[in-house]
């Protein structure tokens, strides 16, 4: 019979795995169940808000929590408008459409991102065009973007055209990897030179700022995710952020079946989506937004703790926020030394996971996935090297030395 206790395991032998384990033990003692990569935190209020939805019967896409969540999100990010949606992928798809991405266009984006970045582009009928990332931020490199456009783009009255494919290059979709803001000013100035629209995949960067401006506010329109492992989770959920009222109204219309306002009649004026976030999910989001600053504070101090502690391990780099940024440190990130294969990375991952410390590598770069292998791309040296060397370690706020449950 399963006693519920984990079998006794030999402690990890890898120095890095031992050090991570010691840090987790310092916070949680000897955990008896697996330590998740990012455990969601639900403040006490979440129970009351969800109960209110159940008691009132407002559990679906109408209800006061959705509006409240959108208003709080706009306030937390400094954005004029937020439109809550069922997930981050759909929020990104609609963001791209609103930014003018059409069928047959190309959208520049990192190959080293979660697959949803390229999927959202594909769902618009457009094609991803991959650009390499920089080692400091793990997000699109301004130098690589500039070099790639120099190589392939022609500036025409209709915008930038890829001379090799004949397709219009409509947008750059930049992603803020693990919460660390990309070089937004640099990227924006390259985009302006080629009349390319900047869209931000800010799925991972709620609570992160670039030069004092919340991520998601430099691009014309951007998308956030509230998936289960994100810094704030509504179970599943996402949102569009924009400072443009017309785009926000359009997003709201398109994502709620294009229904014309009327007290009781159902009349719709175009083919649209049912992408609106349900009230039940929004209630969870409201409860967490009320304590977002506490969560970000805890995550930043956990990152500092890991950094100080792991510093002594030779050859191991703990990724830090760029100098001009304030990062939410969504996932703590370790970069191992250069390696021709994944063996050193996998040794660390095997030991951490065997010990119940859920850890994972960065995503397989998308140009290495079958459905995106034939997409246009520049050199991928950094993306391929980082793929072999990056490890994310447990990053829940409860692991932080400053964590006090609210
Ligand atoms: C970089 C990135 N883009 C997009 C998404 C898609 O968000 P969702 O899972 O809410 O659809 C995620 C997260 O899951 C992500 O990490």
Cα(216) to ligand 1 centroid in Å equals: 14
Q: What pLDDT does residue 163 have?
A: 98
Contact 289, 297 (CB under 8 A): no
126 and 209 share one domain: yes
- CATH number of the structural domain spanning residue 389: 3.90.1150.10
27 and 73 share one domain: no
Report yes or no on 7 lying in a domain.
no
Determine whether the shortest distance from the Cβ of 175 to ligand 1 is under 6 A: yes
247 and 170 share one domain: yes
Residues 254, 93, 330: CA angle, nearest 5 degrees: 120
Q: Where do runs of H (alpha helix) occur along 272-336?
A: 279-289, 292-310
Q: What pLDDT does residue 30 have?
A: 83
pLDDT tens digits along 141-182: 999 999 999 999 999 999 999 999 999 999 999 999 999 999
pLDDT tens digits along 206-261: 999 999 999 999 999 999 999 999 999 999 999 999 999 999 999 999 999 999 99
pLDDT at 9 over 80: no
pLDDT band at 32 (very low <50, low <70, confident <90, very high): confident
pLDDT at 4 over 50: no
Cα(21) to ligand 1 centroid in Å equals: 28
Cα(238) to ligand 1 centroid in Å equals: 8
pLDDT tens digits along 36-57: 999 999 999 999 999 999 999 9
pLDDT at 2 over 50: no
Of 274, 289, 304, the position where a domain reaches its end is 289
Determine whether the shortest distance from the Cβ of 234 to ligand 1 is under 6 A: no
Q: What pLDDT does residue 406 have?
A: 64
179 and 253 share one domain: yes
pLDDT at 6 over 70: no
**pLDDT average, residue stretch 64-89:** 98
Q: What pLDDT does residue 322 have?
A: 95
Determine whether the shortest distance from the Cβ of 336 to ligand 1 is under 6 A: no
**pLDDT average, residue stretch 306-326:** 93
CA dist 11 and 110 (Å) reads 37
Instruction: Choose which residue among 86, 89, 239 to substitute to test ligand 1 binding: the one with the highest number of ligand atoms within 8 A of its C-beta.
Output: 89
Cα(232) to ligand 1 centroid in Å equals: 13
Determine whether the shortest distance from the Cβ of 225 to ligand 1 is under 6 A: yes
pLDDT band at 14 (very low <50, low <70, confident <90, very high): confident
Determine whether the shortest distance from the Cβ of 283 to ligand 1 is under 6 A: no
Residue of the CA atom closest to atom 10 of ligand 1: 88
pLDDT at 202 over 80: yes
Q: What pLDDT does residue 385 have?
A: 98
CA dist 195 and 103 (Å) reads 18
**pLDDT average, residue stretch 298-315:** 93
Q: What pLDDT does residue 401 have?
A: 86
Determine whether the shortest distance from the Cβ of 203 to ligand 1 is under 6 A: yes
Of 289, 320, 348, the position where a domain reaches its end is 289
104 and 240 share one domain: yes
Percent of the chain with pLDDT over 70: 97
Mean pLDDT in the chain? 95
120 and 34 share one domain: no
283 and 338 share one domain: no
Which two three-digit tokens encode residue 344? Answer: 């050193």
Determine whether the shortest distance from the Cβ of 215 to ligand 1 is under 6 A: no
299 and 356 share one domain: yes
Of 225, 256, 289, the position where a domain reaches its end is 289
pLDDT at 7 over 60: no
pTM over 0.85: yes
Total structural domains within the chain:
2
Instruction: Choose which residue among 128, 227, 228, 240 to substitute to test ligand 1 binding: the one with the highest number of ligand atoms within 8 A of its C-beta.
Output: 227
- DSSP one-letter code for 124: T
pLDDT tens digits along 336-354: 999 999 999 999 999 999 9
- CATH number of the structural domain spanning residue 125: 3.40.640.10
Q: What pLDDT does residue 101 have?
A: 98
pLDDT tens digits along 362-382: 999 999 999 999 999 999 999
Distances in Å between the alpha carbon of 377 and those of 130, 147, 152? 4, 12, 10
Range of the domain at 312: 15-40+292-399
Cα(274) to ligand 1 centroid in Å equals: 19
Report yes or no on 3 lying in a domain.
no
Report yes or no on 8 lying in a domain.
no
pLDDT at 1 over 50: no
Determine whether the shortest distance from the Cβ of 87 to ligand 1 is under 6 A: yes
pLDDT band at 402 (very low <50, low <70, confident <90, very high): confident
Residues 88, 400, 180: CA angle, nearest 5 degrees: 40
Distances in Å between the alpha carbon of 403 and those of 289, 296, 309, 326, 396? 16, 10, 18, 19, 10
Q: What pLDDT does residue 27 have?
A: 85
pLDDT at 269 over 90: yes
């Amino acid at each position: 019979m399963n006693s519920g206790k984990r079998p006794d395991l030999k402690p990890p032998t890898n120095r890095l795995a031992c050090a991570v384990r010691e840090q987790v033990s310092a916070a949680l003692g000897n955990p008896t169940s697996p330590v998740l990569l990012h455990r969601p935190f639900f403040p006490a209020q979440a129970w009351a808000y969800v109960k209110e939805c159940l008691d009132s019967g407002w559990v679906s896409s109408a209800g006061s929590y959705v509006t409240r969540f959108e208003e709080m999100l706009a306030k937390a990010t400094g954005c004029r408008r937020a439109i809550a949606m069922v997930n981050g992928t759909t929020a990104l798809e609609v963001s791209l459409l609103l930014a003018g991405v059409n069928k047959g266009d190309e959208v520049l984006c990192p190959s080293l991102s979660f697959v949803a970045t390229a999927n959202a582009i594909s769902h618009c009928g457009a094609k991803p065009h991959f650009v390499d990332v920089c080692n400091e931020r793990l997000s699109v490199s301004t130098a690589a973007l500039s070099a790639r456009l120099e190589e392939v783009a022609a500036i025409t009255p209709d915008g930038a055209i890829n001379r090799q494919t004949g397709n219009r290059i409509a947008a750059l979709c930049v992603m803020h990897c693990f919460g660390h803001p990309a070089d937004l000013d640099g990227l924006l100035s390259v985009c302006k030179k080629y009349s390319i629209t900047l869209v931000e995949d800010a799925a991972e960067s709620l609570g992160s700022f670039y030069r004092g401006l919340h991520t998601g506010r430099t691009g014309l329109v951007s998308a956030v995710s509230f998936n289960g492992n994100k810094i704030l989770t509504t179970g599943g959920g996402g949102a569009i952020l924009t400072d443009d009222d017309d785009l926000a109204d359009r997003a709201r219309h398109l994502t709620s079946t294009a229904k014309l306002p009327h007290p009781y009649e159902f009349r719709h004026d175009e083919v649209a989506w049912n992408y609106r976030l349900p009230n039940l999910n929004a209630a969870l989001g409201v409860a967490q937004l009320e304590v977002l600053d506490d969560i970000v504070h805890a995550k930043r101090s956990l990152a500092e703790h890991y950094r100080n502690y792991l510093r002594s391990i030779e050859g191991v780099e703990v990724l830090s926020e760029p100098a001009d940024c304030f990062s939410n440190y969504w996932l703590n990130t370790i970069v191992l030394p250069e390696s021709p294969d994944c063996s050193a990375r996998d040794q660390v991952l095997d030991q951490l996971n065997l010990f119940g410390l859920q850890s994972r590598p960065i995503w397989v770069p998308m140009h290495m996935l079958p459905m995106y292998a034939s997409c246009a791309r520049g050199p991928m040296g950094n993306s391929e090297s980082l793929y072999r060397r990056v490890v994310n370690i447990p990053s829940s706020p409860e692991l932080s030395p400053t964590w006090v449950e609210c």
